[in-house]
Structure 1
Amino acid sequence: MLIRWLHVITGIAWIGASFYFVWLDNSLRPPAPGSDLADKGVSGELWAVHGGGFYNPQKYMVAPAQLPKELHWFKWEAYSTWLSGFALLTVVYYFNAYAMMVDKSVADLTSWQAIGIGLGSLVVGWVVYDLLCRSQLGRHGLAFGVVVFALLVGAAWVLTHFLSGRAAYIHVGAMIGTIMVANVAMVIIPGQRKMVGEMTAGRKPDPVYGIRGKQRSVHNNYFTLPVLFIMISNHFAMTYRHAHAWAVLGAIMAAGVFIRHFFNLRHKGRIEWRYPAIGVAILLGVFVALMPEPPGITGARTSAGASQVQFAQVQTIIQQRCVACHAAHPTQPGFASAPAGVMLDDANGVKQNAARIYQQAVQLKAMPLANMTNMTDAERAQLGAWFQAGAHTQ
């Protein structure tokens, strides 16, 4: 809990800085030719009012004539977000990989194999992305963006064929987050240090460092909304448990990019409503695709005999498949308390949570987690028939 809280706090700081500086860059207006600002090398400025005061930020084409005594750097927000995120990934997924990462119905892996695939995806993702940035393709914004998007969707496809859906999603997010922080640590900050070093030595900085840093900063800006969705996706099993979970994730990431592009253009004074319209249309399409079948439709597909399921049968299934985690004192390693506070170790708990059992075990098939207790389709059908018949416990 504390690590997650730290991750959210530092993430807000990093995303806030990213959004602000891209807005600032896009909102700058060039000074009048021949003005004092133009003569000083200022490429753009703006006036803003906030918090009861007026602000006048200015951006230099390459660097000011003289290095200021105090210079603010923006790096620890990024580093702290990644470090806390990796710590969270380790505690939640790697320390309990068999329950959180391995899904035998997807691939029969050991815990160490699953962890290796997860860590490998972070390294491979950054290396491939960085090589693309440094290639000729990196000079063509739209083509580069399409290729990187295809890379991420391809990674999602591969990961969903080896890891549990939830672990696959979170590792796509971790891959993007790793790319983002590596952009800061390996390109943006080193470039800025070289610019400062050259100014300290009395030389004019090479503008290439600023150009590279700006490119990676813009990339990070477009990565942000996809990462934010992935951070909350573990609460929505209908996404990562879908038969084509990789395509669902790809569609939602694409919607985030279109919506982010709208705001980036808007900061430049261009209102392009087609971009949020496309993004919302994609999200609505995903919404329709994820809508579960009504209980009546599902029930019509169950056998007539299944409709006569007795509560004793239901309780036996739950005791065998669910109570290891969903109990006052869980016996499943890695669980100190019942997930979401749902306890199914007595008839009252089962009755109270009947709708959640139906949703998670029958409709979404998200529980048991990674199906580690091997609940069968026949058992799911029995739970569904019991719920549709009224979820009686007598």
Structure 2
Amino acid sequence: MNPLDSIKGTVIAGAIIALAITAVVSSYAGFNSMGLLRWAHIGAGVVWIGLLYYFNFVQVPALAAAAADKGGPGGAAITKYVAPRALLWFRWGAVVTWVTGAAYLAHIGWFLGAFSFGLLGTPAPNGNAIGVGAWLGTVMLFNVWVLIWPNQKKILGIVPATDEEKAKARRVAFLASRTNTMLSIPMLLFMGASAHGLLF
């Protein structure tokens, strides 16, 4: 069976290749187990932010176009089959991203320093960049679980809602999603700056 025939097989094959390359490279440079945690953080972040961008750049405009196309197929297939699955990966990608990032910061002794901008605990190098990125990610995680997901459940019919409640839910979820898209831009900048000194 070809592992590329399923997404599970593809991901497992990719992980095996990554670990095999790591084993070869680490025999020369030494193995860093915290690198696996950082790798999980980055991978989950790609899933989370990738889906955030998919929703904002692809799905929302496509649903608007489908609604405007009076003779077209409409957006029922997207809302019935695509959106619930994408939202599952989106919300859990957010959790895994935040938890692995927090665990990494805690392990290297920067958790309190990052979230207090150096007032508590060990301050992180490159100024407060990691703290800015961590706080923006925390606000975005809050938006996913407190504003976007509960309102999407109403929109998708997972929980009962009147037409008026659905209209309000659409607006709240839309604005929270757009807020997260806006915040993702400085968040990615400051996360990169914390590790690579892009700004400081």
Q: Calculate the TM-score normalised by the size of structure 2.
A: 0.63
Deviation readout 1:75-130 (Å, 9 max, x if unpaired): 111111111111112112347xxxxxxxxxxxxxxxxxxx2x644x5xxxxxxxxx
Aligned to 1:21: 55
77 and 161 in structure 1: CA distance in 2 versus 1, 3 angstrom threshold: closer
Say whether the 8 Å CA contact 1:93–1:167 is kept in structure 2: no
1:168 counterpart = 2:128: yes
13 and 198 in structure 1: CA distance in 2 versus 1, 3 angstrom threshold: same
Once residues 32 and 2 of structure 1 are traced to their aligned partners in structure 2, the CA distance between those partners, rounded to angstroms, is 47
Unaligned runs of 5+ in 1: 46-55, 60-66, 96-114, 122-158, 241-394
Deviation readout 1:301-359 (Å, 9 max, x if unpaired): xxxxxxxxxxxxxxxxxxxxxxxxxxxxxxxxxxxxxxxxxxxxxxxxxxxxxxxxxxx
Aligned to 2:160: 198
Say whether the 8 Å CA contact 1:198–1:205 is kept in structure 2: no
Aligned to 1:10: 44
Say whether the 8 Å CA contact 1:169–1:230 is kept in structure 2: yes
Q: Within 5 Å, give how 1:1-394 maps onto structure 2.
A: 1-24=35-58, 25-27=60-62, 28-29=64-65, 30-33=67-70, 35=71, 37=73, 42=74, 58=78, 71-72=84-85, 73-74=87-88, 75-94=91-110, 115=112, 118-119=114-115, 159=117, 163=123, 166=126, 168-195=128-155, 196-198=158-160, 203-204=162-163, 206=165, 207-237=167-197, 239-240=199-200
Say whether the 8 Å CA contact 1:3–1:84 is kept in structure 2: yes
Once residues 10 and 83 of structure 1 are traced to their aligned partners in structure 2, the CA distance between those partners, rounded to angstroms, is 10
189 and 235 in structure 1: CA distance in 2 versus 1, 3 angstrom threshold: closer
Q: Find the residue that maps to 1:239 and give its secondary structure.
A: coil
Structure ID, larger Rg: 1
CA displacement at 1:184 relative to structure 2:
0.3
Tell me which of the two structures has the higher relative contact order, counting C-alpha pairs closer than 8 angstroms and 6 or more residues apart: 2
The structure with the largest helix share of the pair is 2
Aligned to 2:10: none
CA displacement at 1:232 relative to structure 2:
2.1
CA displacement at 1:222 relative to structure 2:
1.7
Say whether the 8 Å CA contact 1:173–1:231 is kept in structure 2: yes
| Equivalent residue letter for 2:159 | G
Once residues 54 and 98 of structure 2 are traced to their aligned partners in structure 1, the CA distance between those partners, rounded to angstroms, is 20
216 and 238 in structure 1: CA distance in 2 versus 1, 3 angstrom threshold: closer
| Equivalent residue letter for 1:215 | L
- Give the percent of matched residue pairs that are identical in Structure 1 and Structure 2: 24
CA displacement at 1:171 relative to structure 2:
0.5
| Equivalent residue letter for 2:56 | V
Unaligned runs of 5+ in 2: 1-34
Once residues 229 and 238 of structure 1 are traced to their aligned partners in structure 2, the CA distance between those partners, rounded to angstroms, is 8
Aligned to 2:23: none
184 and 9 in structure 1: CA distance in 2 versus 1, 3 angstrom threshold: same
Q: Following superposition, which runs of at least 4 residues in structure 1 exceed 6 angstroms of deviation? A: none
Q: Find the residue that maps to 2:160 and give its secondary structure.
A: helix
Once residues 124 and 101 of structure 2 are traced to their aligned partners in structure 1, the CA distance between those partners, rounded to angstroms, is 19
Once residues 78 and 16 of structure 1 are traced to their aligned partners in structure 2, the CA distance between those partners, rounded to angstroms, is 11
Please provide the CA RMSD for this pair: 3.2
Once residues 83 and 212 of structure 1 are traced to their aligned partners in structure 2, the CA distance between those partners, rounded to angstroms, is 25
